């Protein structure tokens, strides 16, 4: 079992884009949880990498995430389903020297799953935020999570991640992060 550590984590947001989010079955909850995760990463100064699948056709990352992250995140275009197929993204992850990759986005059973598997094959400790992931159908989302689990990644929720990073109520940013989920 792995407990997340804010000093060893990197957040990887997969394709939470304008046209894709409108196609997922859980749009409202996915957006809400994604923004909470992005906000928390920003507050804790956890590095963030954001991928965009063919943004010319699918739009950019949704504004609610971009507004929270500002200039903190690196944005990378991709056309492969696995983000790791893009050498610039793979290099940015490697250069971060962070070993815990916390990943969420769209679609669970395609881009998230294939990226998770590629990261696992490179030796990373991968954690998927299940309630910040989505697919066009709930069935595909659940099948994607099952596949991810079979391939050795950890599956947790937004609140589990937040409180693992904080470790306790004495963390300097506890109240600020607690307010995100009230």
Which domains does the chain show, CATH number per domain? Answer: 9-178 (3.40.50.850)
One of 32, 56, 95, 111 is an active-site residue; which one?
Answer: 111
Our answer to whether residue 56 is catalytic in this structure is no
Our answer to whether residue 15 is catalytic in this structure is yes
Q: What is the C-alpha separation between 93 and 20, in angstroms, rounded?
A: 24
Which pLDDT score is estimated for 127? 98
The pLDDT tens digits for 69-89 are 988 899 999 999 999 999 999
User: In this structure, are residues 13 and 41 in contact, taking their beta carbons and an 8 Å threshold?
Assistant: no
Our answer to whether residue 78 is catalytic in this structure is yes
Q: What is the DSSP letter of 38?
A: H
Mean pLDDT of 123-132: 98
Q: What is the C-alpha separation between 100 and 3, in angstroms, rounded?
A: 10
**Mean pLDDT (the chain, rounded):** 97
Q: Is the pLDDT of residue 159 over 70?
A: yes
One of 33, 78, 125, 133 is an active-site residue; which one?
Answer: 78
Q: Is the pLDDT of residue 1 over 70?
A: no
């Amino acid at each position: 079992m792995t407990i997340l550590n804010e000093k060893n984590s990197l957040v990887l947001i997969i394709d939470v884009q304008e046209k894709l989010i409108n196609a997922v079955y859980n749009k409202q909850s996915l957006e809400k949880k994604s923004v909470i995760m992005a906000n928390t990463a920003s507050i804790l100064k956890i590095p963030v990498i954001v991928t965009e699948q063919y943004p010319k056709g699918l739009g950019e990352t949704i504004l609610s995430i971009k507004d929270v992250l500002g200039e903190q995140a690196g944005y990378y275009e991709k056309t492969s389903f696995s983000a790791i197929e893009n050498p610039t993204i793979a290099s940015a992850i490697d250069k971060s020297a962070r070993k815990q990759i916390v990943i969420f986005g769209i679609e669970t059973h395609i881009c998230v799953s294939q990226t998770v598997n590629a990261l696992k094959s490179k030796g990373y400790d991968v954690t998927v935020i299940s309630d910040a992931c989505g697919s066009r159908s709930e069935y595909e989302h659940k099948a994607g999570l099952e596949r991810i689990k079979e391939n050795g990644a950890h599956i947790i929720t937004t609140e589990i991640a937040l409180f693992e990073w904080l470790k306790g109520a004495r963390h300097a940013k506890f109240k600020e992060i607690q307010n995100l989920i009230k």
